[in-house]
Structure 1
Amino acid sequence: MRYLEITVPADRREAVLDVLDDEGTEYVVTEEATSDAIDDAAVVRLPLPTRAVEPILDRLADAGLEDATSRVVVIDAQTVVSREFDELLDRYSHGGTRGERTSRQVLRTKADEFTPGITVYLVMLLISAVVATAGLLADSPAVVVGSMVIAPLLGPALAASVGIVTGDDELQATGFRYQALGVAVVILASIGIATLARLAGLEPGGVDIVVVAELEERVSPNLLSVAVALGAGIAGILSLTRGFSEAIVGVMIAAALIPPAAAVGITTAWGMYGAALGAFVLVVVNVLSINLAALVTLWVAGYRPQGLFEVSPTRRQTVTYVAVFGIALLVLAAPLAGITLLEFQTTQLKSSADESVEAVLEEPEYDHLEEESVEVVLDDDYPIRSIDRVVVTVRGAAFESGLELESDPDADPPEPALADRLHDRVTAEITDPVVVELRYVVSDERGERADDELLVVRTAGGSR
């Protein structure tokens, strides 16, 4: 519920009261002096259901209440006890549903309030970038989540879309400017922190930094990332328009932006520019997805680019932004679709290889061998990788396989035909050439693994 105070000049009073009478609202009119010395100024006070604020203000605007001498203050109201108000509430509840829909005027104010001052914004983003970088390097999901909590991205992520549909050019420009600045600050800060970490020898994944789980999923993103960002944009608008928890939704939006931006900085500092490109594409895709989802959600919810105290703009601007966001998102989502397809193929190949290896090792001549693992390994050509090889590891006792525990890695394999046999079986149902790498893990007579004894045979239809 809302409580409105409307300052009305004398020449608009009759038109305003006619609208309120026609709507069946209760109101109080008082004669008051104003700082603008408006002759015969009156203040009209009235309670309204939240859903009624926007249509009634639009009707008042049509009645001429939109010049510089008119003012409207909207205040939250906890309770209104009135039979007439209950009737008005029922009329604007759309068939008994009393869910609140924030008015366009209040929505614009809330979006502006969630956008902090530039100094606070930059400081909080710097802190978030440091925490996110540390969390990714330490492979700590809890620390990464902490970086999302403190990132003030809800307001900027939604302000642009709210500005577009409400015709507020200043709010729109602020939203876009803050988003671009925020991503740049996080990337640059992460580059600095990651460079210091590398110089200090803090390489949790060795030379290939992206083997860290928290990083790997962001340098080679799939289409599920788009779904996360679209959900964040929709949830963000619903938090503004329906009163859901803004803090929780803010974390969701930060989850789509802060870790990928930090991943760009880390991989850049390590000189892995392909991986950095993949993470940067994810950042851009997420920004576009959030803005597109927010804009479409606002439009579907009935918010239109028109408002009180301003000239109503055309809808062309909104349609233009939707088209630009949509086309850009489709173009950038193409490589993500390729990565998603690769993951699907990898899963299929892994399942097929498991079955093939199990079938081959069940043959009588390989009774002394036991499957230890089957792994599909991708190459390091980020962001769009490809299948490099299938690694099959089998275990056998040293005395059974004929190997000495101190065997030479370049020695002939104990089962010369097994490598080709596995390759033929694994690749029987696929068209692309695949390298099958066979590894023998040697165990002692008691069947305990001797970790230092490993003989590797690589095959691609034959040894290589």
Structure 2
Amino acid sequence: MRLIQVLIPEGSRQPVLDVLEGQGIDYAVFEETGRGEFEAMVQFPVPPTGVEPVLEDIRAAGISESAYTIVLPTETVVSERLDALKALYPGDRLSREELKASAQSLAPELATYFAFIVLSTVIATGGLLLDSAATIIGAMVVAPLMGPAITASAGSVLADRDLTARGIALQVAGLVLAIVVAAAVGAVLKGTVIIPPGTDIRTIPQVAERTSPGFLSLFIAFGSGIAGAISVSRGSGSTLVGVAIAVALIPPAATSGLGIAWGYSGVAASAAVLVLVNLLSINLSALAIFWLSGYRPELSEQRDSVRASVLKRGAVLVVALVGLSIILGATTFAAYQTTTFENQATAETEQFFDDPAFSEYQLEAIEVDYDSQDIILGNDPTVSVVVGQPNAADVPPDIAERLERQIEQRTGQDAGVRVGVIIGQESEPIPPTVDATTSARIERPHPNGAAAPDFKRNENSGRSITLRSSVPP
């Protein structure tokens, strides 16, 4: 319920009371003894959905915006007399006036806003480098990005250009600042002992997660925007929903900044695309929810122009998202291809060594080197296999070639295959001076032109055995 208090100007008391009596609303009137231009104050309870139509009728009765109208949320109202009023105004949607007030309060002062952006970005950057999801989520509690997104959309449907412009400006400035701060933090940490030399941020799971945006990113962003709009329009849970919106924006912005700091243009660009996609999706979904919830400008002559403006803005957002979706589609398809190949190559390798001809082999490890960047650059995948075998003399010289043919027949994909064979003896301990080495390989350059990694295995049960297998450049 809401408690509305209205100061009635001189000569307007009876028209206002007639409006309330006509809708069956109980009210109390107090004589005004303050400024002489008001003759009384009336207060009355009304459900949230009734605030907007009742205030419209009161304004039509002679109460202008120059007077004072106060809308107060109430904790509890005990009265059976309100049942009829609740049936007349069902639901819990906030009024136009309350939505506008909430949107204004969600867009904080510049100093506060930018301070929280900097702090949340610093924490999120640390969480990315530490690969800590908990730290990243904690940083989002600080991030104030829900306010500007909701403010821009609310201003659009209510024909408040200042509110719209402020929301858009705060979003753009905040995300640009987040990228700059993350880049600065990354550049500083990169040159210290805090970050080990040679650290490749592309291998950090929390960073890699935000450098391959797919269509699921759209669902996350749309869900965040819808949740934010619903929470504000219903007056519930806006703080927690703000965390979801911040999660969709600050971590990819920080990832883009880290890509700049490390000089990885691909990381910076792909994370920036994710930021832009999420930003557009959140704004589009919030705009749609507010419009479908029935929010319109107070003045009827503004409604046609606002409808055209909302449709135009929505069309621009949709076109931009469709264009960016091409990138998301390519990334999603590449991720599907790499995952499919990895699963097929792993299954074929396991099946290959399950053959009775290789019954003495023990499959130790399978590693598939193939990602979205390899597809974009046209690099072939590499399959690295480590197996155990008790006798070096029994290792076929073409084992890697045979496995390669089987994988290519199954997947239709050219692949470089490396097989490392660990030779062990179990009957008696091997003298420490003995070094048994064998290698089976396929003469094919590594897709990235680099030497293949060494396979090493040391046992402490009386023997020391080392295997090195490499593909020549």
Write the letter of the residue equivalent to 2:324: L
Contact 2:213 2:331 in 1 (8 A): yes
Residues 222 and 180 of structure 1: is their aligned pair in 2 closer, same or farther, counting only changes over 3 Å? Answer: same
Contact 1:437 1:456 in 2 (8 A): no
Once the 2 structures are TM-superposed, how far is the Cα of residue 62 of structure 1 from its aligned partner? 4.6
Query: Which residue of structure 1 lines up, in the alignment, with residue 313 of structure 2?
Result: 321
Pairwise mapping of residues 335-374 of structure 1 onto structure 2 (< 5 A)? 335-374=327-366
Query: Which residue of structure 2 lines up, in the alignment, with residue 444 of structure 1?
Result: 424
Write the letter of the residue equivalent to 1:7: L
Query: Which residue of structure 1 lines up, in the alignment, with residue 88 of structure 2?
Result: 91
Consecutive unaligned residues of structure 2, counting only runs of 5 or more, are 430-455, 459-464
Deviation string 1:9-67 (CA, Å, 9 cap, x unpaired) is: 345444433332222111223342554x42x54322111011211222233345554x3
Question: Residue 315 of structure 1 aligns to a residue in which SS?
Answer: helix
TM-score (structure 1 length as normaliser): 0.86
Contact 1:441 1:453 in 2 (8 A): no
Are 2:111 and 1:119 equivalent residues in the alignment? Answer: yes
For structure 1, which segment, 364-373 or 232-241, has the greater mean C-alpha deviation from structure 2 after superposition?
364-373
Consecutive unaligned residues of structure 1, counting only runs of 5 or more, are 94-98, 404-413
Match of 2:289 among 292, 297, 306: 297
> Following the alignment from structure 1 to structure 2, what is the Cα–Cα distance between the partners of residues 386 and 12?
78
Query: Which residue of structure 1 lines up, in the alignment, with residue 68 of structure 2?
Result: 71
Once the 2 structures are TM-superposed, how far is the Cα of residue 186 of structure 1 from its aligned partner? 1.0
Query: Which residue of structure 2 lines up, in the alignment, with residue 16 of structure 1?
Result: 16
> Following the alignment from structure 2 to structure 1, what is the Cα–Cα distance between the partners of residues 107 and 367?
47
Pairwise mapping of residues 115-194 of structure 1 onto structure 2 (< 5 A)? 115-194=107-186
Query: Which residue of structure 2 lines up, in the alignment, with residue 406 of structure 1?
Result: none
Deviation string 1:370-401 (CA, Å, 9 cap, x unpaired) is: 3333333235849967764141313123x513
Contact 1:260 1:279 in 2 (8 A): yes
Write the letter of the residue equivalent to 1:6: V
Are 2:407 and 1:426 equivalent residues in the alignment? Answer: yes
Deviation string 1:222-256 (CA, Å, 9 cap, x unpaired) is: 11112111111111112212233222111111111
Contact 2:156 2:164 in 1 (8 A): yes
Are 2:2 and 1:2 equivalent residues in the alignment? Answer: yes
Query: Which residue of structure 2 lines up, in the alignment, with residue 284 of structure 1?
Result: 276
Query: Which residue of structure 1 lines up, in the alignment, with residue 383 of structure 2?
Result: 391
Deviation string 1:386-443 (CA, Å, 9 cap, x unpaired) is: 764141313123x51349xxxxxxxxxx433222222222122444x42232231424
Write the letter of the residue equivalent to 2:328: L
> Following the alignment from structure 2 to structure 1, what is the Cα–Cα distance between the partners of residues 311 and 58?
27
For structure 1, which segment, 341-350 or 179-188, has the greater mean C-alpha deviation from structure 2 after superposition?
341-350
Once the 2 structures are TM-superposed, how far is the Cα of residue 168 of structure 1 from its aligned partner? 1.8
TM-score (structure 2 length as normaliser): 0.85
> Following the alignment from structure 1 to structure 2, what is the Cα–Cα distance between the partners of residues 308 and 23?
22
> Following the alignment from structure 2 to structure 1, what is the Cα–Cα distance between the partners of residues 107 and 400?
62
> Following the alignment from structure 1 to structure 2, what is the Cα–Cα distance between the partners of residues 389 and 87?
70
Contact 2:400 2:418 in 1 (8 A): yes
Query: Which residue of structure 1 lines up, in the alignment, with residue 41 of structure 2?
Result: 43
Contact 1:346 1:376 in 2 (8 A): no
Contact 1:220 1:382 in 2 (8 A): no
Are 2:456 and 1:456 equivalent residues in the alignment? Answer: no
> Following the alignment from structure 2 to structure 1, what is the Cα–Cα distance between the partners of residues 365 and 165?
55
Contact 2:403 2:417 in 1 (8 A): no
Question: Residue 218 of structure 1 aligns to a residue in which SS?
Answer: coil
Write the letter of the residue equivalent to 1:51: T
Root-mean-square deviation (CA), in Å? 2.8
Once the 2 structures are TM-superposed, how far is the Cα of residue 301 of structure 1 from its aligned partner? 2.0
Q: What percentage of residue pairs aligned between the two structures are identical?
A: 35
> Following the alignment from structure 1 to structure 2, what is the Cα–Cα distance between the partners of residues 254 and 383?
31
> Following the alignment from structure 2 to structure 1, what is the Cα–Cα distance between the partners of residues 300 and 17?
18
Deviation string 1:42-94 (CA, Å, 9 cap, x unpaired) is: 322111011211222233345554x343332101122333443221012222x
Residues 79 and 207 of structure 1: is their aligned pair in 2 closer, same or farther, counting only changes over 3 Å? Answer: closer
Question: Residue 450 of structure 1 aligns to a residue in which SS?
Answer: coil
Once the 2 structures are TM-superposed, how far is the Cα of residue 353 of structure 1 from its aligned partner? 1.5
Question: Residue 210 of structure 2 aligns to a residue in which SS?
Answer: helix
Query: Which residue of structure 2 lines up, in the alignment, with residue 407 of structure 1?
Result: none
For structure 1, which segment, 50-59 or 10-19, has the greater mean C-alpha deviation from structure 2 after superposition?
10-19
Contact 1:226 1:286 in 2 (8 A): yes
Write the letter of the residue equivalent to 2:417: E
Contact 2:374 2:381 in 1 (8 A): no
Query: Which residue of structure 2 lines up, in the alignment, with residue 401 of structure 1?
Result: 392
Residues 366 and 81 of structure 1: is their aligned pair in 2 closer, same or farther, counting only changes over 3 Å? Answer: closer
Question: Residue 438 of structure 1 aligns to a residue in which SS?
Answer: strand
Query: Which residue of structure 1 lines up, in the alignment, with residue 452 of structure 2?
Result: none
Match of 1:239 among 222, 231, 236: 231
> Following the alignment from structure 1 to structure 2, what is the Cα–Cα distance between the partners of residues 225 and 441?
42
Contact 1:361 1:367 in 2 (8 A): yes
Contact 2:224 2:245 in 1 (8 A): yes
Contact 1:130 1:189 in 2 (8 A): yes
For structure 1, which segment, 208-217 or 108-117, has the greater mean C-alpha deviation from structure 2 after superposition?
108-117
Match of 1:52 among 24, 46, 50: 50
Q: Larger relative contact order (C-alpha < 8 A, sep ≥ 6)?
A: 1
Once the 2 structures are TM-superposed, how far is the Cα of residue 444 of structure 1 from its aligned partner? 2.8
> Following the alignment from structure 1 to structure 2, what is the Cα–Cα distance between the partners of residues 252 and 204?
32
Deviation string 1:168-225 (CA, Å, 9 cap, x unpaired) is: 2222111111111111111111111100111115445945321001100011211111
Write the letter of the residue equivalent to 2:419: R
Query: Which residue of structure 2 lines up, in the alignment, with residue 331 of structure 1?
Result: 323
Write the letter of the residue equivalent to 1:60: I
